[in-house]
């Protein structure tokens, strides 16, 4: 709650005066149900989400990728900040956590925008870069679309079976077709995600990385950092150093929540 400001009062002031009063009720519901979960601290910070919502609207983002869903706070924020025909590819190996927030997402009337893929993110991004896109009839539910994704990984040759079900695999140019990506998962892969997302997100689009100030530990001497935070801190610091010289993107580090790095693809 103290956040990066290192001032409990100031962080509380911003949240209570400027963030919570404007937080959509469905997002508050996800925040409330998540508060009872043992890993509640993983949820994206509400002030970060508020900034992301503004970025999504400024961009008029329609096609987005989300890596690291957990109970769906940032995912619901994205769904609420994009148009009715938006398409959000949301990737997380933990479907159980997603299902905690799913009834709230359904009640908010935005589930149709979400293609949840229960998987590690790297193979999904690689598949997208192979230009594979799945078209399935809208009456199939999300479990089914996720199932199809996995099945297809094993069985590209079973096309007649899928054709019978009304599903087709279409070669599509995925490169440069996404407006926005949000990365909030395994920190050791941030550079791997960056390389792939730079191809998937269009020139002018944004890739936003969460937790890039890692609770302020990036400026602490290593010996002062709690043991369980050390490894991810190293990855984050390596990412921060590397991204600062990447001329393919403009960057801005915003000290909201746990710190986010906003990258705008420029070539």
Ligand X SMILES: C[S@@+](CC[C@H](N)C(=O)[O-])C[C@H]1O[C@@H](n2cnc3c(N)ncnc32)[C@H](O)[C@@H]1O
**In terms of CB distance, is 70 or 162 closer to ligand X?**
70
| Span near ligand X by CB under 6 A; candidates 21-29, 68-76, 212-220, 256-264 | 68-76
Subset of 89-108 contacting ligand X (CB under 6 A):
91-94, 97
**Residue closer to ligand X (CB basis): 162 or 187:** 187
249 binds ligand X (CB under 6 A): no
Binding mask 12-31 for ligand X (x = CB under 6 A): --------------------
Binding of ligand X at residue 48 (CB under 6 A)?
Answer: no
Q: Under the criterion CB under 6 A, does residue 239 sit at the interface with ligand X?
A: no
183 binds ligand X (CB under 6 A): no
**Binding piece for ligand X, criterion CB under 6 A, among 87-95, 166-174, 223-231, 255-263:** 87-95
Q: Is 120 in the site for ligand X (CB under 6 A)?
A: yes
Among 15, 56, 67, 125, binds ligand X (CB under 6 A): 67
Q: Is 145 near ligand X (CB under 6 A)? A: no
CB 102 within 8 A of CB 26: no
Instruction: Tell whether residue 191 is a contact of ligand X (CB under 6 A).
Output: no
**90, β-bridge pairs:** 66, 116
Does residue 110 touch ligand X according to CB under 6 A? Answer: no
* Cβ–Cβ under 8 Å, residues 34 and 43: yes
Nearer to ligand X (CB atom), residue 93 or residue 255? 93
> Is residue 197 part of the contact set for ligand X (CB under 6 A)?
no
Q: Which of 180, 182, 243 is nearest to 210 (CA)?
A: 182
CB of 242 to ligand X, least distance (A): 19
Q: Residue 219: which residues within 8 A CB-CB, separation 6 or more? A: none
Nearest Cα to Cα of residue 191 among 247, 259, 238: 238
Report whether 79 contacts 52 (CB < 8 A): no
According to the binding rule CB under 6 A, does residue 73 interact with ligand X? yes
Catalog residues that contact ligand X under the rule CB under 6 A: 42-44, 67-71, 73-74, 91-94, 97, 120-121, 184-186
């Amino acid at each position: 709650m103290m956040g990066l400001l290192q001032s409990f009062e100031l962080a509380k002031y911003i949240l209570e005066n400027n963030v919570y009063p404007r937080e959509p009720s469905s997002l508050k519901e996800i925040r409330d149900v998540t508060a009872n979960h043992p890993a509640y601290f993983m949820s994206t910070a509400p002030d970060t989400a508020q900034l992301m919502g503004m970025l999504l609207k400024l961009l008029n983002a329609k096609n987005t990728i989300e890596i690291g869903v957990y109970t769906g706070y940032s995912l619901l924020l994205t769904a609420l900040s994009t148009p009715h025909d938006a398409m959000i590819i949301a990737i997380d190996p933990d479907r159980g956590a997603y299902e905690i927030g799913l009834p709230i997402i359904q009640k908010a009337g935005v589930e149709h925008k979400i293609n949840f893929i229960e998987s590690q993110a790297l193979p999904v991004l690689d598949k997208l870069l192979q230009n594979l896109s799945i078209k399935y009839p809208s009456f199939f539910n999300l479990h089914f679309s996720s199932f199809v994704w996995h099945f297809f990984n094993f069985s590209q040759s079973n096309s007649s079976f899928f054709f019978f079900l009304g599903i087709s695999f279409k070669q599509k140019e995925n490169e440069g077709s996404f407006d926005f990506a949000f990365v909030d998962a395994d920190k050791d892969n941030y550079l791997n995600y960056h390389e792939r997302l730079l191809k998937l997100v269009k020139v002018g689009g944004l890739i936003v990385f969460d937790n890039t100030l890692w609770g302020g530990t990036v400026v602490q001497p290593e010996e002062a950092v709690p043991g369980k935070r050390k490894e991810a801190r190293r990855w984050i610091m390596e990412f921060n150093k590397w991204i600062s010289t990447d001329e393919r993107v403009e960057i801005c580090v915003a000290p909201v929540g746990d710190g986010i790095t906003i990258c705008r693809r420029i070539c």
